[in-house]
Amino acid sequence: MKIVDIGVCTENNDPKGLGRIRVIDYDDYVGGKSNIKEGIEKWSKDDPFIASPFLPNNINFIPELKQAVKIIRYNTNKTTVNQEYIAGPFSTRYDFNGQQFNTQISQTSYGVSVEDKEDIIKNEEGTLPENCKNTLSKYKDYSVGGKYGSDVLFTQDGVVIKGGKLVQKDVTSDANRLLLTKGFPLSSDKVAKLHLKKFGPKQYIIEEEKNESVTENSNLQFIIEYDVDNLTNPTYANFYIHQIKPNTGVKYNSSNFTESTQILSGETVFLTETGDTYTFRTDLNTLNGFSGSTLSKKIQLAHLEIKNKINGIQKNGFEGTVPYKILTNLIVTQANNNIYPFFFRPTSEFLNRSTTTTEFNDRNTILNNIKLTSTSSSGASLVYSRDRVSPITKTVPKKVKVLKTDSTSFEQTFGNITADKIYLLSTDTNFTDKKIDFPVLNSYEYEQSDYIEKIEPNTYSLVRGEILLDFIDALYNTFFGHVHNINEPYVKSDPNHTKLELLYNKLREELINKSIKIN
């Protein structure tokens, strides 16, 4: 006779509240036999189908109806007296109340035909998929799991009590529901938890001064674009000037703008002579040696002309380079030394123009040879000032926060409560106008409506002490630092000032408890 057998829970509402169940053997259940016997009073001491909890009564795990249980008998020759039960087996470690008999014994040799679920552990370390991370206790830790979505986790020197660690089945997405049917425990973004933990030597953050390389940056004033009208028979080099309007955002900062940054309508003013679609152009035929030259020579002269124009604007500003009629369209008249920084680049049309193989190579020749310095980029570049293409990078001291360890201390403990809303409640008398009526709250477990309707309206928000101190500092400094010209300086020997100064000096230590933090 078996010492431990499989049974099925048929009733679980023990009228004496002892956690007992009524149970039928596995063989009778699968054979369709009834466990009803005439003349037997259910739940009495003579009821042969009662099983008591095998675990102590203070551990409450009562199975659902039609769930499998493990039956343990004192006398193996009698199958219906003096028997105890342990809930299970179960086919998951996290979802107990939703399982039925056939699912529960799917991983045993009892051979019930159900669809086998796929593996959820991906390697020997017990790693779970990304959306299942940290939902199951690790092999080296201990835990006590609730029926679904809650547990008490015991780690090295720590304990975590979690409520709602898993997504709710009835309000999750279709994709999540599919994973749930496959046996994956899906972690939730909304978890209420209490975490207590002790670590090794005490750690703290201090500010240290370190040297940091900082590159100058400034808002661009102008964008100059260029192209060549025709790569088979070039005749003109065209230039287009955009003056950037004020307050156009960080994308026009010299550290952000690039060759591919798009200019949106309304962000710049396109400077042009009336009726012209270009800003100004150079007639390449007027260049010495251009007419009658080979195509390669014309391409060379074209990129030299574009480079010289950009060089001239850098050294001399717009005056003498850009037609006067165009300069009259400036938002604000720019002196020669006030056009910086500017950015030059080829037009998008020039870069993306359909070309033959020869034209493609000639365009690359133009772009690769337009360089203002040996170290600057080809074809497009920032011009930061009259004397420099690139901004200056210099080393400056900067305060940074650094994590330090106190080698003289051996332990540091932490505790935190995490939830959407956190309430610290006292049932003792609180001398305020708001009162929580504790007797009307659900004494078994506070309901959501208890929090929203009966607790929330009768509580106060905690103070962010650091912000309050910043305000008081400003008030203090203004009050004692400000003197009207017609008055004598503030008399600090006044007793009221002495008291206020004493309170102010104590405030920083007494208002904030630096060991307790709120977010």
- Position of tokens 């400036």? 330
Average pLDDT over every residue of 259-268? 91
Q: Are residues 190 and 53 in the same domain?
A: no
Q: Are residues 241 and 377 in the same domain?
A: yes
Predicted confidence (pLDDT) at residue 482 exceeds the cutoff of 90? no
CB 436 within 8 A of CB 425: yes
Q: pLDDT band at 57, cuts 50/70/90?
A: confident
The three-state (H, E, C) secondary structure of 62-108, written as one string: CCCCCCEEEEEECCCCCCCCCEEEEECCCCCCCECCCCCHHHHHHHC
Starting at the edge strand that comes first in sequence, how are the strands of the sheet with 412-418 ordered?
142-145, 150-155, 158-163, 192-199, 412-418
Predicted confidence (pLDDT) at residue 514 exceeds the cutoff of 70? no
Structural domain of 25: 4-107
Q: Are residues 262 and 155 in the same domain?
A: no
Spatial separation of the C-alpha atoms in residues 161 and 197, rounded to whole Å: 12
Predicted confidence (pLDDT) at residue 33 exceeds the cutoff of 70? no
Indicate the SS3 state at residue 475. Answer: helix
Q: Where are the beta strands (DSSP E) in 336-418?
A: 342-346, 381-383, 393-405, 412-418
Average pLDDT over every residue of 65-73? 90
- Among 370, 393, 416, which residue terminates a domain? 393
Residue 142 lies in a domain: yes
Distance in Å from the first CA to the final CA of the chain:
61
Residue 35 lies in a domain: yes
Residue 485 lies in a domain: yes
Indicate the SS3 state at residue 364. Answer: helix
Summary mean pLDDT of the chain = 84
What's the pLDDT at 271?
Answer: 83
Spatial separation of the C-alpha atoms in residues 96 and 146, rounded to whole Å: 8
Residue 214 lies in a domain: no
Question: Which helix or strand (DSSP H or E) is residue 152 part of?
Answer: strand 150-155
What's the pLDDT at 171?
Answer: 78
Q: Are residues 275 and 187 in the same domain?
A: no
Q: Are residues 232 and 312 in the same domain?
A: yes
Give the model confidence (pLDDT) of 402-426 as tens digits.
Answer: 999 998 999 999 999 998 888 888 8
Q: How many domains does the chain have?
A: 4
Residue 88 lies in a domain: yes
Q: Are residues 248 and 369 in the same domain?
A: yes
Give the model confidence (pLDDT) of 289-328 as tens digits.
Answer: 888 889 999 999 999 999 999 999 999 888 777 877 777 7
Residue 60 lies in a domain: yes
Q: Are residues 20 and 101 in the same domain?
A: yes
The strand pair at 83-87 and 68-73 is best described as: antiparallel
Give the model confidence (pLDDT) of 224-245 as tens digits.
Answer: 999 999 999 999 999 999 999 9
Give the model confidence (pLDDT) of 358-378 as tens digits.
Answer: 999 999 999 999 999 888 889
Q: Are residues 389 and 266 in the same domain?
A: yes
Question: ω before 495 within 30° of 0 (cis)?
Answer: no
Q: Are residues 243 and 182 in the same domain?
A: no
- Among 393, 419, 449, which residue terminates a domain? 393
Q: Are residues 238 and 347 in the same domain?
A: yes
Average pLDDT over every residue of 486-508? 69
What's the pLDDT at 519?
Answer: 47
- Among 372, 393, 414, which residue terminates a domain? 393
Q: Are residues 291 and 384 in the same domain?
A: yes
Domain of 70: which CATH number? 2.40.50
**Of 217, 203, 213, 215, nearest to 401 (Cα)?**
203
Q: Are residues 469 and 384 in the same domain?
A: no
